[in-house]
Structure 1
Amino acid sequence: MNYDIFNGDADGIISLLQLRLANPIESELVTGVKRDIQLLEKVNVKSGDRLTVLDISMEKNRYALLDALEVGASVYYADHHRCGDIPQDQHLQAHIDLDANTCTALIIDQLLEGQFHLWAITAAFGDNLIAKAEQLAEKAGLSKDQAEQLNELGTLINYNGYGSKTQDLHFHPANLYLALLKYPNPFDVIADSDSPFYQLKSAYRQDMDKALVIEPSHRSVPLSVFELPNSAWARRISGVYGNYLANQAPDSAHGVLTDNNDGTYTVSLRAPLNNKLGAGDICSQFDTGGGRAAAAGINALAKTELARFIKTVEEFYT
């Protein structure tokens, strides 16, 4: 049995998109909202199964990965998040790069020698690697207008991945992946008026308009914090809103808190774009936290822990 296991954000979807455009296979898709990262444990792995795992932390999936290898499955694993110790096993192909200026889709792009390079650029935009994506777009000979189109598409695919449950999303990530698989070139998605691009574009604008009127609940030189209400639109916009804020003030860290209505916040933390370090390490100090150097999160930060979170972030970036 083939399993394609991937993060439901732009990077995860486009990583798999490139692989399956290059090598189509029949597989069972395993994915979910962006924060649903312990995906390996959802698979009942048997000997001989082939697992492709993309854009989810090996550290967070370590025990399920070891179990899969122990029963005799083969695993192809590509990622850019915290990995911990990588198991040494003949059935594991691990392509891990923790550089803050890469993403899983760019790792896959290198492995495929640029077969679907425009999609990789789209993913880099979606993962908020704006400077890197612009550099790649210019090197690929794209105009500024074309680069902006890929930026918008990547942002919209990423936007669709945020929510506490798939019902919050406009498209289930597996369905969005299947819809995009029809397009070997991302510009074909934009050219097709019936593609998901236009539904996501309209919805994104409505959600972002609501976020942009919110004033910061805390602001200092190293950190600005914004609190969003317990609603589906807030859960959808939280991640790309954090990216937007980071791009507006690249010397500051930004925290976007979404009220979970149970005494906790869902946290999206963005390191300063001019100092893309530490976000994953900071969030990992809190229960349910993790991520990578430039962007990380906490699934359930107790409101009583907010002051400690703010202090921890400010001390790190001061």
Structure 2
Amino acid sequence: MNRFYVFNGDADGVCALHQFRLVDPAAANLITGVKRDIKLLDRVEANPGDLVTVLDISLDSNRKGLMRLLEEGVRVEYFDHHHAGEIPQHPNLTAHIDLSADACTSLLVDQYLKGKFHLWAITAAFGDNLVQKARQLGATAKLTETEIDQLARLGEYLNYNGYGDNLPDLHFHPTALYEEIRPYANPFDFIAESNAFRKLAEGYQDDTSQADSLQPLTTDERYAAYLLPDAPWARRVSGIFANKLANAYPQRAHAVITPNHAGNYTVSVRASLTNPCGADVLCLQFNTGGGRKAAAGINHLPTGSLDNFVSSFKQHFCS
């Protein structure tokens, strides 16, 4: 039997993979990409009886690839919290899907593994901007405030690394970042000892300092939209900047719009923290859009559709 892990390249996907691999480090095929590269099951070439574990990518976006694998006799276990659509009823599929606003894939894996590597799940929750949930979990785990803050920074840095229009935009290929994390069962050891952590911290500080000087394209008390420049730093920081805005202005919804290499825009949307829903509904109105209730996005928004998106965004979150 061949083993495959198909995982999102952001904090949640990498930390979910890490938890599984700490339990079972046997040889496996790893398939991933940048955070927005989610149609990953099309790349899986498996044989009947093989096992594919899918982590943190939308089932609905991968339905065609999933059904192909299931019909070919491949066993698939699916862990995710994004828009799923109708979940197929198939004997080869085991689905662990939770669309709740305070769910993330690493927390689902944490439940499945009975908390064996709980600190990595808390790290991922911070990375997915589930800040209140993550802090509650940290307190329950009897972490100090300093330790909770350390995991918060680590989660942000791991998530930051996943953003980019293509792999050269990133500081680390997601598989390479996982390899840096792999020796560490405890995230505090990774923080203390890893050069990768220091590289991400430096990149994060440099990129966010540039983003902090940006002015919104449009704003009022209920929403704000930002148009970032066409630059690698902007593509790297887009998701983190959206999370930072959401935490700074919890009553507002936010959209961060960034030019991509295809000549279109990539959009990150965050619903307000006081009413964390509706981001997925908005983005699913546009081709290549998707996500979850609190946070969603559009991979390729045509430049000519910018005004339509901004108008829809304002109308969607105006009440």
The structural deviation recorded for 1:223 is: 1.4
What is the CA–CA distance in structure 1 between the aligned matches of 2:259 and 2:222, rounded to whole Å?
23
> Residue 5 in 1 paired to residue 6 in 2?
yes
Q: TM-score, normalised by structure 1?
A: 0.97
What is the CA–CA distance in structure 2 between the aligned matches of 1:42 and 1:283, rounded to whole Å?
25
Residue in structure 2 matched with residue 137 of structure 1 by the alignment = 138
Q: Could you tell me which amino acid in structure 2 is paired with residue 312 of structure 1?
A: S
- Percent of counterpart pairs with the same letter? 50
Q: Could you tell me which amino acid in structure 1 is paired with residue 222 of structure 2?
A: P
> 5 Å matches for 1:65-104?
65-104=66-105
Residue in structure 2 matched with residue 273 of structure 1 by the alignment = 273
Aligned-partner SS, 1:75: strand
Residue in structure 2 matched with residue 26 of structure 1 by the alignment = 27
The structural deviation recorded for 1:179 is: 1.2
Aligned-partner SS, 1:216: coil
> Residue 308 in 1 paired to residue 303 in 2?
no
The structural deviation recorded for 1:261 is: 6.4
Residue in structure 2 matched with residue 210 of structure 1 by the alignment = 210
Gaps of 5+ in 2: none
What is the CA–CA distance in structure 1 between the aligned matches of 2:180 and 2:264, rounded to whole Å?
35
Aligned-partner SS, 1:266: strand
What is the CA–CA distance in structure 1 between the aligned matches of 2:171 and 2:88, rounded to whole Å?
37
Residue in structure 1 matched with residue 230 of structure 2 by the alignment = 230
Q: TM-score, normalised by structure 2?
A: 0.97
Residue in structure 1 matched with residue 220 of structure 2 by the alignment = 220
**Structure 1 stretches of at least 4 aligned residues deviating more than 6 Å after TM superposition:** none
Q: Could you tell me which amino acid in structure 2 is paired with residue 60 of structure 1?
A: S
> 5 Å matches for 1:26-65?
26-65=27-66
What is the CA–CA distance in structure 2 between the aligned matches of 1:110 and 1:263, rounded to whole Å?
41
> 5 Å matches for 1:253-292?
253-260=253-260, 264-292=264-292
For residues 93-113 of structure 1, what are the alpha-carbon distances to aligned partners after superposition, in whole Å with 9 as ceiling and x for unaligned? 110000010100000011111
Asked if the contact 2:13/2:105 (under 8 Å) is kept, the reply is yes
Q: Could you tell me which amino acid in structure 1 is paired with residue 289 of structure 2?
A: G
Gaps of 5+ in 1: none
Greater mean deviation of Cα atoms: 44-53 or 271-280: 44-53
What is the CA–CA distance in structure 1 between the aligned matches of 2:34 and 2:142, rounded to whole Å?
34
The structural deviation recorded for 1:263 is: 5.1
Residue in structure 2 matched with residue 162 of structure 1 by the alignment = 163
Q: Could you tell me which amino acid in structure 2 is paired with residue 13 of structure 1?
A: V
Aligned-partner SS, 1:60: helix
Q: Could you tell me which amino acid in structure 2 is paired with residue 31 of structure 1?
A: T
- How many residue pairs get aligned? The number is 317
